[in-house]
């Protein structure tokens, strides 16, 4: 079938076979069916690990016999460094990359959902594929993203595949407080976040939620380290989500979070936070700064700090009054939120303003990961505090600007990012 693929019919058959399989077998079944449909010699799925720098070969199939690579096959577990590879190019471009050799053709297809890079589907074909086959592989990789998202709620298999090192209890708690997807692409905006934990995990978190008319963003930093900080962060994030899901504005969210920490945490505990509510129709931002570092805005290529007046962190005093402040975004603006782990202690050599200027062509997904690598380099890998970044690109309210495709996960309006760019 390699030269006569019917994308719609075969994709339906591919999904039907996958849906009939148990959750733990879903990826295996998809790989087996895909290999059969396009006549592939072998097919692999490589899942992005939690560092963002490498892929882990989660599944490898040869001649129609797929197998999940796990503890029983540890010698075959392959970790692939993204930098400079075809895998990186596939994720960066959000297109299928084609590599020809004398014996075969290898395809690298991004497994991405709304800009969130989950991994790469890799196939080897004995003959050069037609455009229809390449298009079908691209659709199958996109379908695989949905398959993974749908099935990972039933099993730990896929999350375990992303871990190339054990998590501490604090890290496990912290990971549960982060959004399920670190990137979201939409018509009006792109948002992406990343967290680099310290050796003794602090209490950093970030969150977002796209509603019908608004986008909620938050970033927070709980006092302390390890499990105590993770528990304090749990109080704050749970309160913010509870208020947000009751359609509360940023002022009500802040007051409720403050009350929750005063009522349930120790007297000396507190959480700094920045809460934003973006109106999707206008780009107007309602903000509350609860003792947190101010955000940065990149406007017409110029980086400035957004001057928000700080109020007390959550938990400092019962009945604290919080102020709602406003920021107006214009089409093309970039808003960047960070925790103090990006600014203070042994990460202070990282120049945020210069780095944002250098990274202005990057997609938010790339920017947050580059900043993560930069803070690791600045601290020689020994962070004294968690370092977290949340990036919002505001595209404006419009049906179609002729240059962006929200589902693609790549920012077609921007120049390609320089893969050798370093933030020193």
Worst-scoring range by mean pLDDT, 8-22, 50-64, 108-122, 154-168?
50-64
pLDDT at 29 over 70: yes
Written as six digits, the tokens of 350 are 């990282």
The pLDDT confidence band at residue 61, using thresholds 50, 70 and 90, is low
Interval 289-298: pLDDT, tens: 999 999 999 9
Total number of residues shown for the chain = 424
Q: Would you say 409 and 110 are in contact if contact means Cβ atoms under 8 Å apart?
A: yes
Phi, psi angle pair for 144, to nearest 5°? -60, -35
| Nearest-angstrom CA–CA distance, 80 and 120 | 11
pLDDT, position 83: 85
Span 245-286, pLDDT tens digits: 999 999 999 999 999 999 999 888 999 999 999 999 999 999
Fold entry, domain 169-394: Phosphatase 2c; domain 1 (3.60.40)
**Of the candidates 133, 143, 76, 132, which has an alpha carbon nearest to the alpha carbon of residue 106?**
133
The C-alpha atoms of residue 276 and residue 218 are separated, in whole angstroms, by 6
Query: What pLDDT is recorded for position 8?
Result: 57
Res 53: pLDDT: 83
pLDDT at 75 over 70: no
Would you state the structure tokens that stand for residue 87, as one six-digit string? 């895998």
Edge-to-edge, what's the strand order for the sheet holding 302-305? 183-185, 189-196, 387-394, 334-338, 296-299, 302-305
pLDDT, tens digit, 9 for 90 and up, residues 81-140: 888 899 999 998 999 999 998 889 999 999 999 999 999 999 999 989 999 999 999 999
How far, in Å, CA of 288 to CA of 273, rounded?
Answer: 8
* Domain boundaries defined on the chain: 7-161, 169-394
Amino acid 13: pLDDT: 85
Query: Which is more confidently placed, 237 or 59?
Result: 237
Tokens of 116: 């969130």
- Give the strands of the sheet with 284-290, arranged side by side: 203-210, 214-222, 271-279, 284-290, 325-328
The answer for 234, left when phi > 0, alpha when psi is -120 to 50, beta otherwise, is: alpha
Please say whether the beta carbons of 2 and 107 come within 8 A. Answer: no
pLDDT tens for each residue of 322-380: 999 999 999 999 999 999 888 865 556 678 888 899 898 999 999 999 888 888 888 88
Q: Identify the CA nearest to 110 among candidates 101, 102, 119.
A: 119
Percent of the chain with pLDDT over 70: 86
Show the CA angle centred on residue 344, arms to residues 360 and 261, nearest 5°: 105
Average pLDDT score over residue span 193-207? 89
What's the CA gap between 284 and 304, in Å, rounded? 18
Q: What's the predicted TM-score (pTM) here?
A: 0.86
pLDDT at site 346: 54
Residue 377: predicted pLDDT:
84
d(CA 21, CA 26): 6
Ranking 76-80, 172-176, 281-285, 379-383 by mean pLDDT, the lowest is 76-80
Residue range 7-161, CATH number: 3.30.450.40
Q: Which two tokens stand for residue 353?
A: 């303003």
Q: What is the DSSP letter of 417?
A: P
pLDDT band at 383 (very low <50, low <70, confident <90, very high): confident
> What pLDDT shows up at residue 407?
53
% of the chain exceeding 90 in pLDDT:
56
Tell me what pLDDT residue 328 has.
Answer: 97
Return the structure tokens found at 396.
Answer: 């404006």
């Amino acid at each position: 079938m390699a030269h006569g693929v019917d994308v719609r019919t075969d994709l339906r058959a591919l999904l039907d076979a996958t849906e009939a399989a148990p959750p733990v077998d879903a990826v295996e079944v998809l790989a087996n069916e895909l290999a059969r449909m396009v006549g592939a010699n072998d097919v692999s799925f490589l899942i992005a690990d939690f560092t963002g720098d490498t892929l882990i070969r989660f599944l490898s199939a040869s001649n129609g016999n797929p197998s999940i690579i796990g503890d029983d096959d540890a010698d075959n577990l392959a970790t692939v460094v993204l930098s400079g590879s075809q895998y990186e190019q596939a994720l960066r471009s959000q297109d299928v990359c084609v590599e020809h050799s004398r014996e075969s053709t290898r395809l690298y297809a991004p497994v991405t959902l709304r800009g969130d890079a989950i991994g790469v589907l890799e196939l080897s074909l004995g003959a050069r594929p037609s455009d229809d086959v390449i298009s079908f592989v691209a659709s199958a990789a996109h379908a695989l993203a949905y398959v993974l998202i749908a099935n990972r709620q039933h099993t730990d298999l896929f999350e375990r595949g992303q871990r190339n090192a054990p998590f501490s209890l604090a890290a496990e708690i912290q990971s549960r407080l982060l959004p399920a997807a670190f990137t979201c692409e939409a018509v009006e905006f792109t948002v992406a976040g990343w967290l680099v934990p310290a050796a003794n995990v602090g209490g950093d978190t970030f969150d977002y939620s796209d509603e019908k008319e608004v986008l909620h963003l938050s970033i927070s930093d709980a006092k302390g380290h390890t499990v105590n900080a993770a528990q304090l962060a749990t109080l704050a994030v749970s309160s913010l989500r509870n208020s947000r899901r009751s359609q509360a504005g940023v002022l009500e969210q802040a007051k409720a979070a403050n009350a929750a920490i005063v009522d349930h945490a120790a007297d000396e505990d507190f959480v700094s936070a920045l809460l934003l509510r973006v109106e999707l129709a206008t780009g107007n931002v309602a903000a509350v700064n609860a003792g947190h570092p101010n955000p940065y805005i990149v406007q017409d290529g110029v980086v400035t700090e957004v001057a928000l007046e700080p109020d007390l962190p959550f938990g400092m005093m019962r009945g604290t009054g919080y102020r709602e402040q406003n920021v107006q975004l214009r089409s093309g603006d970039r808003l960047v939120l960070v925790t103090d782990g990006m600014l203070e202690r042994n990460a202070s050599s990282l120049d945020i303003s210069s780095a944002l200027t250098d990274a202005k062509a990057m997609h938010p997904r790339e920017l947050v990961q580059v900043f993560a690598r930069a803070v690791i380099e600045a601290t020689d890998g020994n962070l004294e505090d968690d370092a977290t970044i949340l990036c919002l690109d505001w595209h404006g309210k419009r049906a179609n600007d002729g240059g962006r495709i929200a589902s693609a996960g790549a920012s077609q309006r921007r120049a390609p990012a320089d893969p050798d760019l370093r933030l020193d």
